[in-house]
Amino acid sequence: AQVQDLAPEKVTSAKNMAFAFDIDGVLVHGDRLIPEGKKVLEILNGDNELGIKIPHIFLTNGSGKPEQERCAQLSKILGSPVSTKQFIQSHTPMSALAEYYNTVLVVGGEGFRCREIAELYGFKDVVVPNDIVAWDETIAPYRVFGPWERASARPRDFHNTNINAILVFSDSRDYATDYQIIMDLLQSENGRLGTRAKDPVSQRIPIYFSQGDYLCPTEHPFPRMSQGTFRLGLEAMYKAITGAELERTIYGKPERATYTYADEVLSCWMEEIHAEKVLPENVYMVGDNPQSDIIGGNLYGWNTCLVKTGVHTGDENDKENPASEGLFENVLHAVIHAMRKEL
């Protein structure tokens, strides 16, 4: 298929369509390029018969690096500029929580990267599990606490600190320690370690997860457990120990809040590239995961395209959450289909 048969009067239609791309499994596999992803960005950045930019944003459940850094990395892999103004990763919308909570426990990610991200988001007082272990190693009896971790930890007397919320930003690197500390906090009086709440529900601090995917494709032949499975384990142990259900908030695809946020990013991006802050009517979500990208896009009223380059296997559209536009060999086929339909 080609896109060369586009006519100039179709410029208005071109401004009224947009793409929301999933990243892993659509444009890249980790740090490895999916070649059609590079071609697609060239087309959308103006290498098309109209010579016009077709708006597109990136909507990923990925996490663990500051937006600026991840966009620079993606720009390099994809060979096209990826701006932070068109990029949403799982924890990006959580920056809005900074105005509500002073002291937060941020869980997950490599080293202290998620502390750095939370500080960039404007959180004033960011605690990570290692700060707590450095204060009292007996809190995590199975943890081997090395000198490097100790050197970069910020211990304090947590008996005198109220942690106001728990934010799981990325995948836990140490389930045992993170579960233990989260359970201690959830059962404490308003987030003060060393206390036990009289009422486990009214005195419980809130917990947020940046995304809910159970599994994530990696270099390993079978997908690996992700934040969603970490949460399932926590919910089960919380219920078994306290008898209460764990209330929690989840961000990321397919949660509606993330799509609402994406609309805001998209209209700002329209202003950036076309000097008009309007929302294109025909948005196409291109994704590889029916349970996050496709179900979320369908529920939000977007057109959805499922591709074969990621977690979805087989030659048929997903049965439970079919993509409205169908199944495509790769992202280039999906984009050409959408452009032919709209232009």
Is 288 among the residues that bind Mg ion (CB under 5 A)?
yes
- 144 burial level (CB within 10 Å; 0-12, 13-18, 19+): exposed
Q: Per the omega criterion (within 30 degrees of 0), is the bond before 141 cis? A: no
**Shortest reach from residue 89's CB to Mg ion, in Å:** 12
Candidates 10-18, 19-27, 190-198, 265-273; binding stretch for ligand G3P (CB under 6 A):
19-27
Query: What's the one-letter identity of residue 11?
Result: V
Within 192-211, which residues bind ligand G3P (CB under 6 A)?
none
- Strand 32-33 and strand 28-29: the pairing is antiparallel
Is 62 among the residues that bind ligand G3P (CB under 6 A)?
yes
**Shortest reach from residue 339's CB to ligand G3P, in Å:** 22
Is 304 among the residues that bind ligand G3P (CB under 6 A)?
no
Q: Which is nearer to Mg ion, 199 or 219 (CB)?
A: 219
**Consecutive H or E run containing 172:** none
**Shortest reach from residue 223's CB to ligand G3P, in Å:** 9
Binding site partner of 258, from Mg ion, ligand G3P, none, Cβ cut-off 5-8 A by kind = none
DSSP-derived letter for residue 205 is P
Q: Distance (Å, rounded) from C-alpha 16 to C-alpha 246?
A: 42
**Shortest reach from residue 207's CB to ligand G3P, in Å:** 19
Is 25 among the residues that bind ligand G3P (CB under 6 A)?
yes
Q: Which is nearer to ligand G3P, 23 or 97 (CB)?
A: 23
What tokens does 19 get? Answer: 């793409």
Q: Distance (Å, rounded) from C-alpha 108 to C-alpha 115?
A: 9
Within 195-234, which residues bind Mg ion (CB under 5 A)?
none
CB 177 within 8 A of CB 143: yes
Binding site partner of 92, from ligand G3P, Mg ion, none, Cβ cut-off 5-8 A by kind = none
